Structure 1
Amino acid sequence: MRIALSRSMFLPIERTLVTSDDFKVTTFCFPTGVEALRIQTARAELVVLPYLGQQIWAASLDGRGVGMKSMVKTPKRNVSLLENLGGFFFHCGLTAIAAPGEGDDHPLHGELPNAEFDEAWLDVLESERKLSIGGSFEYAKAFAAHYLFTPSIVVSATEAKFDINAEVRNLKNSPMDLCYLGHINFRPVDGSRLEYSAAYTSEAVRVRGAVPSHLMPSPRYLQLLSDLEKDPAPHHVISETVGYDPEIVLKVDYRTDGDGWAHGLQVHADGSADWVAHRPAELPQAFRWISRTADQDALAITEPATCGLSGYKREKEQGDVPVLGARRVWSASMRVGGLNSHEVQWLLQEIRRL
């Protein structure tokens, strides 16, 4: 069953839209006027912005808030990404991702993070005990790109994890470049550790040495970059004594399990974990972003992507930007959420086998 959403459903007072034994969905508006859906199950709560980028603004798993700490408390429209950087998840792309490099004029992470969606809907999948939040955004720029972006977030009644799906349809009669990245922002937990399906070597886990122009690095920060270039292992321990100020970015060469999934975990002291999985066949490049400052605390365990972060022009010159054919469709999926200690132990055995 599909429920078509309209902006008139969203008021400053929170109201129930759908309720059942498995789910409760309410609608409300932030004080900034941004529309929001609150999806609640026995194990998860998500606040989704159906019209503003289809961002997941906040997430709670088994009663624990997992989203990043940020100076931005409420979402806003018609501002830059850095003025809206407070959500748990946002889509990046599609004409470019990351910070603009030399000769680039694209906004940070492209047009998708704060895109105004044309349509939004809620699908009730009763037989599967799932809900799906979806929408569509059509982008057209003369002499450039024309595409339809149709993402979805699928929430299960019984799990503390969910699927994030992205679909792109090239509406042009000629090929288009395809730049996409999924930005998943967990909060770092001191005392936890990072585990993931890659070799823990400087060849497989490479630190980005270049510093984007909007950041002001300190000598201590530059020394940290130099140390991690030689050996990435120290970043596996999440500790308040290590200041990733303003940020650190690593490129990770993931290995996949027998089903084609690559895995990244933040394993907590009690054995549970935050978890991200993606398919490198769909999203062949992957990055890790950590920012730990007095005002911002974020850990993107895995940022799956189609291309690199060196700026559009340089990535294009290197031949690292994939192309989507005329009228063709591309899609990808990510799995995000929390694992209990038994699930973690089983998955770590798989990772070590790889």
Structure 2
Amino acid sequence: MSVIIPLPRERFGPAPSVLAKTDGFTVTGWRTALGIEMIGVDTPRGRVEMLPYMGQMLWDAVFDGVRLTMDSAFPEPRPAQVIVETYGCLAYHSGLLRNGCPGPQDDHPLHGEMACATMDAAHLEIGEDGQGAFVRLGGHVDYIRGFGPHYRAMPSITVRENTLIEMAMTVENRSALPMDLMYMCHVNFAFVEDGRIHQAAPFTPERTRVRRDVPAHVQPTQAYTDFIERLAEAPEDSATLDAPEKWNPEQVLYIERPAADASGESHALLERPAGDGFAMSWRPDQFDHLARWILNGEDASVAAFALPSTCEPEGYTAEKAKGHVRSLAAGETAHFATRFGYTDKAETTALAKTISDLTEKENA
């Protein structure tokens, strides 16, 4: 059972106001001085902040006193048409017609049109299901072009009383013609010095591939290219985020065919030196690819250690040539779901064992 609360834009004012309150959650809404509507959800374990009308981004999250979000030059969200104009969020929806870094033959924005899309409507859903009480931000945006694509995107972010967040995207092709579909759940965790990455695939050159093509926004150094060559031969060197300076400029890796558990989910984990960690779970039958983006720069640092995607992030032309661009038939709907967040020491130990068991079982 659940209750739907519409969130018209006029409901947001300059001072935070309580939109809903339950035994476990307090939901507030406000509009920043820059004109961005925001939703805050306080839970028994922390706080989550979301942007109901800007792509339904997940801006920030803190659980048990640990901030999950990347460091950036953006102390707050800014009005934006493209993601680089407000690149400081914890997670966003990358796609949907285009995704990734545009190549020389591409004219699409970085990570597509959905990341900063102005939503047509937003709402809260508050209720309880088999997993317990929840607060869910939902809404929709219709993308319509005369003589071109027409789809409805219906994202959602679900917050529970634990420290895991569920992020989902449903896209319906409302055109009479097929549409291209590229989607990545782009989760930007904080960089963790000496953090250890656990993945359900071996750290071998065949299963953990480093990106060799240098994108236009990266200014390569000799140390950078040397590190690429080292990771190509010994990708196990990417498992620990030691020597933070070597992750500047960024490195991108592709994890091939991660194993799934009996429920169909795969998992990845960034274990922090204190023994707790950040976790990501997804379904490989929804996401054909898994990317990793690590950067420890002067103005931004991020450990996006698990980016489930339908394609690699090399832009439309390159991905089309690889056969990685999906086609969604007229009237067809696609759904994607991930679960990610913070794990305490016991949960981190248990998840690390689950991932190790998956890898060992595959290699047996």
- Do they superpose with TM above 0.5? yes
Match for residue 236 of structure 2 among 233, 236, 242: 233
Partner of 2:23: 21
Partner of 1:167: 170
Residue 154 of structure 1 pairs with residue 174 of structure 2 = no
| Correspondence 1:35-114 to 2 at 5 A | 35-114=37-116
Can you give the 5+ residue segments of structure 1 that lack an aligned partner in the other structure?
A: none
Give the TM-score normalised by structure 1: 0.96
Partner of 2:214: 211
Partner of 1:343: 347
Which string of whole-angstrom CA distances, capped at 9 and with x for unpartnered residues, describes residues 221-268 of structure 1? Answer: 111111111111112112344432221111112111111111111112
| Correspondence 1:132-211 to 2 at 5 A | 132-157=136-161, 159-211=162-214
SS at structure 2 position matched to 1:151: strand
Partner of 1:9: 11
Cα 1:126/1:352, change in 2 over 3 Å: closer
Q: Separation in 2 of the partners of 1:192 and 1:213?
A: 28
SS at structure 2 position matched to 1:348: helix
Q: Separation in 2 of the partners of 1:308 and 1:147?
A: 22
Deviation at 1:144, TM superposition (A): 3.0
Which string of whole-angstrom CA distances, capped at 9 and with x for unpartnered residues, describes residues 309-346 of structure 1? Answer: 22211221222211111101100110011122222222
Deviation at 1:79, TM superposition (A): 4.2
Deviation at 1:308, TM superposition (A): 1.8
Contact 2:269 2:351 in 1 (8 A): no
Give the TM-score normalised by structure 2: 0.94
**Quick one: which amino acid aligns to residue 305 of structure 1?**
S
Deviation at 1:206, TM superposition (A): 0.5
SS at structure 2 position matched to 1:2: strand
Match for residue 276 of structure 2 among 272, 275, 278: 272
Deviation at 1:271, TM superposition (A): 2.0
Number of matched pairs: 353
Q: Separation in 2 of the partners of 1:152 and 1:79?
A: 20
Partner of 1:331: 335
SS at structure 2 position matched to 1:129: strand
Which string of whole-angstrom CA distances, capped at 9 and with x for unpartnered residues, describes residues 79-123 of structure 1? Answer: 432121100001011111111113111110000111000000000
Partner of 2:303: 299
Q: Separation in 1 of the partners of 2:355 and 2:13?
A: 46
Cα 1:9/1:240, change in 2 over 3 Å: farther
Contact 2:82 2:115 in 1 (8 A): no
Partner of 1:283: 287
**Quick one: which amino acid aligns to residue 162 of structure 1?**
I
Q: Separation in 2 of the partners of 1:26 and 1:240?
A: 40
Q: Separation in 2 of the partners of 1:95 and 1:101?
A: 15
Q: Separation in 1 of the partners of 2:273 and 2:32?
A: 35
Q: Separation in 2 of the partners of 1:322 and 1:138?
A: 20
Identity %: 32
Contact 2:79 2:85 in 1 (8 A): no
After superposing on structure 2, the runs of 4+ consecutive aligned residues of structure 1 that deviate more than 3 Å are: none
Contact 1:102 1:311 in 2 (8 A): no
